[in-house]
């Protein structure tokens, strides 16, 4: 169940219920403020992450809208885990991770199409002291731009 510190008045949490009654609670206002404050200097500048940012919204519009409903900007993943480019010119990102302010039960899992969302346990340190978690999704297949050939 939701920890008591999330019952504070004035905090409007969005709750997602998945199979097995596992829940994720996200404060979309605080989460959106976090993403709005991120600048290009805060984001990874490697070619794979730039490729991810260029394509995620157009290749996965439904997922981008779902993440946006929680205040998460799909093109500002805190971490991506790309594999090598395949013969068709696509890259599989086997993990894309996002910061969310709130609480997520340990075995929460949600699926949109072939993409699975769950609470991440292996991720870079966020440096955030407020209650938060890292949401990861996989697999994401995106076209590889010329700089990755």
pLDDT in tens, the chain (149 residues): 444 444 444 556 666 656 567 788 999 999 999 999 999 999 999 999 999 999 999 999 999 999 999 999 999 999 999 998 899 999 999 999 999 999 999 889 999 999 999 999 999 999 999 999 999 999 999 999 977 65
Query: Model pTM?
Result: 0.87
Write b or e for each residue in 23-41: b if 16 or more Cβ atoms lie within 10 A of its Cβ, otherwise e.
Answer: bbbbbbebbbebbeeeeee
Distance CA 59, CA 54 (A): 10
Distance CA 106, CA 23 (A): 9
pLDDT tens digits, one per residue of 34-48: 999 999 999 999 999
Helix-strand-coil split of the chain, %, nearest 5: 30, 35, 35
Which token pair is 121? 């346990």
């Amino acid at each position: 169940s939701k920890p008591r510190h999330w019952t504070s008045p004035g905090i409007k949490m969005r709750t997602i219920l998945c199979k097995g009654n596992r829940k994720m609670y996200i404060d979309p206002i605080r989460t959106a403020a976090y993403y709005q404050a991120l600048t290009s200097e805060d984001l990874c500048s490697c070619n794979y992450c730039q490729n991810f940012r260029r394509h995620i919204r157009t290749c996965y519009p439904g997922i981008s809208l779902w993440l946006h409903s929680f205040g998460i900007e799909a093109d500002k993943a805190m971490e991506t885990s790309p594999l090598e480019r395949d013969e068709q010119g696509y890259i599989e990102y086997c993990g894309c991770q996002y910061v969310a302010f709130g609480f997520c039960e340990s075995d929460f899992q949600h699926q949109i199409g072939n993409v699975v969302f769950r609470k991440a346990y292996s991720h870079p340190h966020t440096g955030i002291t407020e209650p938060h978690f890292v949401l990861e999704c996989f697999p994401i297949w995106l076209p590889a731009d010329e700089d990755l050939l």
